[in-house]
Amino acid sequence: MDKRKMKYLPHKTIERLSQYRRALLLCQANGKTHIFSHEIATIQHITAVQVRRDIMLIGYTGTLRKGYNIADMISLIGKILDSEKVQNIAIIGMGNLGVAITKYFSGKRTKLEIAAAFDVNPVKIGKKYSGVECYHINQIIKIIKEKDISIGIITVPSTETIIIKNILVKSGIKGILNYTPKPVNVPDDVYLEEYDMTTSLEKVAFFVKMH
Amino acid sequence: MDKRKMKYLPHKTIERLSQYRRALLLCQANGKTHIFSHEIATIQHITAVQVRRDIMLIGYTGTLRKGYNIADMISLIGKILDSEKVQNIAIIGMGNLGVAITKYFSGKRTKLEIAAAFDVNPVKIGKKYSGVECYHINQIIKIIKEKDISIGIITVPSTETIIIKNILVKSGIKGILNYTPKPVNVPDDVYLEEYDMTTSLEKVAFFVKMH
DNA sequence: AATTTATTGTTAATTAATTAACAGCAAAAG
DNA sequence: CTTTTGCTGTTAATTAATTAACAATAAATT
Ligand SMILES: NC(=O)c1ccc[n+]([C@@H]2O[C@H](COP(=O)([O-])OP(=O)(O)OC[C@H]3O[C@@H](n4cnc5c(N)ncnc54)[C@H](O)[C@@H]3O)[C@@H](O)[C@H]2O)c1
Ligand SMILES: NC(=O)c1ccc[n+]([C@@H]2O[C@H](COP(=O)([O-])OP(=O)(O)OC[C@H]3O[C@@H](n4cnc5c(N)ncnc54)[C@H](O)[C@@H]3O)[C@@H](O)[C@H]2O)c1
């Protein structure tokens, strides 16, 4: 698939591709070789049209009455989502959430690797969390360069969010995933994704109340 | 504000209201009494138009050249988002993520309360996590009734997601926040919110690679 | 007192995302 | 061999969300 086109894939399609891939890997592990759009839709709890539309956007075509070749689709999604070389990630703030995330991601995806953790608490410095070494935050610029880290996950207390964001931007990081409730802004060449758990929970509570 | 209108607030507006409120509470704590739309916008890193549009949708009006009264806005957002009585929450799966979330939320928001935790691991049953008692999963229907729990947070291994979702729906829960990567579907009268961390990270990685 | 400035509130326009509609066709059924 | 069925791929329509435009006006400035 053409690189120029990929840039223009809708954000929501990118998200779904990530999910399709994991679903397809599961199907493949169960010995399936082909799959219909409506089967993917059922797994993901979305509509078959949406699945076909996403597949159209990435330029793949299935075979009529046989569906999509699972192996081919996995490989194509990989070509779209994955970088050729490993993308290294830093996680900043090894508290409850930071440790949980590190454990969750470490050694899972081959093309994404948590390469370093950072904290200020002396108890944590030098320790390894699921194989990831924790460094003092004042080492971060050096380590990011050394380990060619391009993505940062922020899990520090929200009072520290801006400081950490600034350090990350300064050290040339190109993507930030901010899990603190303090919104940040970044230069145009840095991609930012924020998730606020309190917001999600309050949203659920609102719609429950409204019933 | 009219209850009928509230139902039709856009989802994104609901999310931002939750965030405005927390920002406003901070401002209030700093002794501020009034705030302009562009100030809120700066804090949230969005546009002032969007802030004013959201405020318009909830039917509040500021005063020209003076801005919005912070206390009034906090109170109005409370009337919209909060239920009159406390909304009780159950969290299912007290692993890394479940424990982190429980710690994070417990005793924070007055109108939302984590009222019970559930697991299958005998080591965890009977223990308290940040003041929240952990029960065996086979007690869940009883406890949900007893404690009038209307919201469930799922943090079990993804192999268990569907089982837990079914139990929650069966026991009459009205809102589910699913943090496992296994998508679920629910009847119309249950509100569902899903968040998949891997998707977020792969999305960041994609846009970083595309640069 | 007249003019300028800064800000709100709202409508209109634009962009993004989803959903509907359907043509095309290979395989299955008759 | 002909018809029906079931699925793909794509265009068109719809809906949701954001952004632009600007009228109204209170306060500040001249
Ligand atoms: N725990 C959760 O489930 C949860 C959920 C949603 C959001 N959050 C947010 O995630 C963030 C972390 O939450 P947590 O529960 O893990 O908190 P935590 O207090 O357990 O962890 C924060 C960690 O950051 C470290 N830290 C502090 N200042 C630092 C700095 N300048 N540089 C590097 N490290 C620093 C601390 O030493 C600590 O280890 C918070 O902003 C919180 O609001 C947490
Ligand atoms: N840890 C993270 O940062 C993270 C991030 C994103 C998503 N997740 C997802 O969240 C879920 C939990 O992750 P985790 O890291 O906390 O895993 P974990 O293994 O530490 O915790 C899972 C817990 O669920 C319990 N459990 C298992 N079956 C159960 C059942 N039938 N009923 C009740 N409890 C049961 C286990 O005993 C365990 O305590 C997983 O689905 C994971 O994919 C975790």
3-state SS track over chain B: CCHHHHCCCCHHHHHHHHHHHHHHHHHHHCCCCEECHHHHHHHHCCCHHHHHHHHHHCCCCCECCCEEEHHHHHHHHHHHHCCCCCEEEEEECCCHHHHHHHHHHCCCCCCEEEEEEEECCCCCCCCEECCEEEEEHHHHHHHHHHCCEEEEEECCCHHHHHHHHHHHHHCCCCEEEECCCCCCCCCCCCEEEECCHHHHHHHHHHHHHHC
Residue A34: CB less than 7 A from any atom in strand D: no
CA of A63: nearest nucleotide by C1' is D8
Same domain, A95 and A77: no
Residue of A nearest to B102 (CA): A96
Inspect the interface and report whether the beta carbons of B89 and A200 lie closer than 8 Å: no
> Strand D: which positions are within 7 A of a protein CB?
6-11, 16-21, 24-28
pLDDT one digit per residue (tens) for chain B, 211 residues: 666 566 689 999 999 999 999 999 999 999 999 999 999 999 999 999 999 999 999 999 999 889 999 999 999 999 999 999 999 999 999 999 999 999 999 878 789 999 999 999 999 999 999 999 999 999 999 999 999 999 999 999 999 999 999 999 999 999 999 999 999 999 999 999 999 999 999 999 999 999 8
How many domains does the structure of chain B reveal? 2
The CATH number given to whatever domain includes residue B31 is: 1.10.10.10
Is residue A137 scored above 80 in pLDDT?
Answer: yes
Per residue in B185-204, pLDDT (tens digit) is 999 999 999 999 999 999 99
Mutate to test the interface with A, among B191, B193, B196 (most CBs of A within 10 A): B191
Same domain, A42 and A143: no
Provide the whole-model pTM.
0.97
Residue A38: CB less than 7 A from any atom in strand D: yes
Asked which of A81, A104, A139 is the last residue of a domain, the reply is A81
The CATH number given to whatever domain includes residue A183 is: 3.40.50.720
Chain B, window 164-203: residues with a beta carbon less than 8 angstroms from a chain A beta carbon:
174-177, 181, 183-185, 189, 191, 193, 195-203
Same domain, A110 and A40: no
Same domain, A174 and A93: yes
Is residue A2 scored above 70 in pLDDT?
Answer: no
Same domain, B34 and B120: no
Inspect the interface and report whether the beta carbons of A195 and B199 lie closer than 8 Å: no
Which residues span the domain enclosing B60? 3-81
Per residue in A35-84, pLDDT (tens digit) is 999 999 999 999 999 999 999 999 999 998 899 999 999 999 999 999 99
Asked which of B47, B81, B115 is the last residue of a domain, the reply is B81
Asked which of A81, A103, A120 is the last residue of a domain, the reply is A81
Per residue in B96-105, pLDDT (tens digit) is 999 999 999 9
